């Protein structure tokens, strides 16, 4: 997921964040539809609405996240974005220990937004926070789609919806550059690395393991994003930023490990 995001950053100079998102979602849609061959016939209105809402969340989450990493380093963006999954982990909890995890995450985000050698784009931070809210919604909806649809058909339908919703931003940012063969190839690679493969695995994971276990595994995302940003993009981080990422990872791991799975109504 995060190495795909780092690769997507290399597309921004050609097609902008909107164009990169559109190519990512479109290529993933083509692959998922070819594999699962979803059908609209026989679907209940409730299932179709669920797929449309899930697709809208996917489009919004990716557009806001790519606009964030266009302005701030990948590792910092993902760490800030993690407020969404963390909120899901502690939502409704009355345990005092969860206040510690929230405090750790807040301290980590404060270190990220106020540390480093240069000023951090406030707009980039805002986009990361929006992406975080949508990431939390994605986790809840992904679990629901996995229960309502067989195999990966629900994800394929939602990805088609997301692709359609991303068309205006894609054309506005990318224009004719979207048709350049090299750009299409990189966009397809991003679609496989960041959407088709990880979203499919996450959907299947949420069918088989407790949400608490899933949360622990997801808590590695900020650290992996920092690593991908350093290897692919050469984005070095200050010691203070690395401490901030570590605090967010620790907070998410602690909250997720102590969260018991409970029915979720969406």
Say if 265 falls within a structural domain: no
Select from 215, 237, 214 the least CA-distant residue to 227: 237
Q: At what angle do helices 74-81 and 221-233 cross, to 10 degrees?
A: 160
Q: What is the mean pLDDT of the chain?
A: 88
Least confident of 91-100, 105-114, 207-216: 207-216
Residue 93 pLDDT class (50, 70, 90 cuts)? low
Say if 262 falls within a structural domain: no
Say if 117 falls within a structural domain: yes
Residue 91 pLDDT class (50, 70, 90 cuts)? confident
Residue 264 pLDDT class (50, 70, 90 cuts)? very low
Residue scoring higher pLDDT (124 or 240): 124
Residue 215 scores a pLDDT above 80: no
Stretch 212-224: mean pLDDT, rounded? 74
Helices (H), the chain: 2-9, 12-36, 45-69, 74-81, 83-90, 97-114, 122-148, 153-165, 167-174, 181-191, 197-208, 211-218, 221-233, 239-257
Copy the structure tokens of residue 171.
């054309």
Whether the CA torsion 169, 52, 195, 113 is positive or negative: it is: positive
Separation of alpha carbons 32 and 192, rounded Å? 10
Task: Count CB atoms within 10 A of the CB of residue 198.
Answer: 16
The number of distinct structural domains making up the chain is 1
Residue 253 pLDDT class (50, 70, 90 cuts)? confident
Residue 65 scores a pLDDT above 70: yes
Residue scoring higher pLDDT (221 or 114): 221
Highest-pLDDT range among 33-47, 105-119, 207-221: 33-47
Domain coverage including residue 184: 2-257
Stretch 16-40: mean pLDDT, rounded? 96
Task: Count CB atoms within 10 A of the CB of residue 97.
Answer: 11
Select from 65, 19, 59, 61 the least CA-distant residue to 171: 19
Residue 151 scores a pLDDT above 80: yes
Least confident of 84-98, 130-144, 164-178, 239-253: 84-98
Select from 134, 156, 135, 136 the least CA-distant residue to 145: 156
| DSSP code of residue 177 | G
Residue 256 scores a pLDDT above 50: yes
Say if 210 falls within a structural domain: yes
Say if 207 falls within a structural domain: yes
Stretch 154-173: mean pLDDT, rounded? 97
Say if 91 falls within a structural domain: yes
Select from 206, 198, 160 the least CA-distant residue to 34: 160
Separation of alpha carbons 80 and 175, rounded Å? 30
Say if 95 falls within a structural domain: yes
User: In 3-state terms, what secondary structure has residue 91?
Assistant: coil
- Report pLDDT for 263: 41
- Report pLDDT for 181: 96
Say if 105 falls within a structural domain: yes
């Amino acid at each position: 997921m995060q190495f795909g995001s780092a690769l997507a950053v290399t597309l921004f100079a050609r097609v902008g964040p909107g164009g990169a998102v559109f190519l990512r979602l479109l290529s993933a849609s083509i692959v998922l539809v070819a594999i699962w061959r979803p059908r609209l016939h026989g679907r209940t209105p409730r299932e179709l609405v669920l797929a449309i809402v899930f697709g809208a969340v996917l489009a919004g989450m990716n557009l806001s996240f790519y606009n964030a990493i266009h302005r701030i380093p990948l590792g910092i963006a993902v760490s800030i974005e993690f407020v969404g999954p963390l909120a899901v982990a502690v939502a409704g909890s009355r345990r005092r220990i969860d206040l510690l995890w929230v405090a750790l995450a807040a301290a980590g985000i404060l270190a990220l937004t106020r540390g480093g050698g240069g000023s951090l784009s406030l707009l980039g931070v805002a986009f990361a926070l929006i992406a975080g809210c949508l990431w939390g919604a994605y986790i809840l909806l992904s679990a629901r789609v996995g229960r309502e649809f067989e195999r990966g058909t629900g994800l394929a339908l939602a990805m088609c919806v997301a692709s359609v919703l991303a068309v205006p931003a894609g054309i506005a940012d990318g224009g004719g550059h979207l048709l350049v063969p090299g750009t299409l190839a990189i966009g397809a690679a991003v679609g496989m690395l960041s959407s088709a493969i990880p979203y499919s695995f996450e959907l299947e994971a949420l069918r088989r393991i407790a949400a608490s276990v899933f949360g622990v595994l997801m808590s590695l995302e900020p650290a992996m994003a920092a690593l991908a940003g350093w290897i692919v993009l050469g984005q070095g981080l200050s010691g203070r930023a690395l401490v901030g990422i570590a605090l967010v990872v620790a907070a998410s791991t602690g909250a997720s490990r102590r969260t018991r799975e409970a029915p979720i109504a969406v």
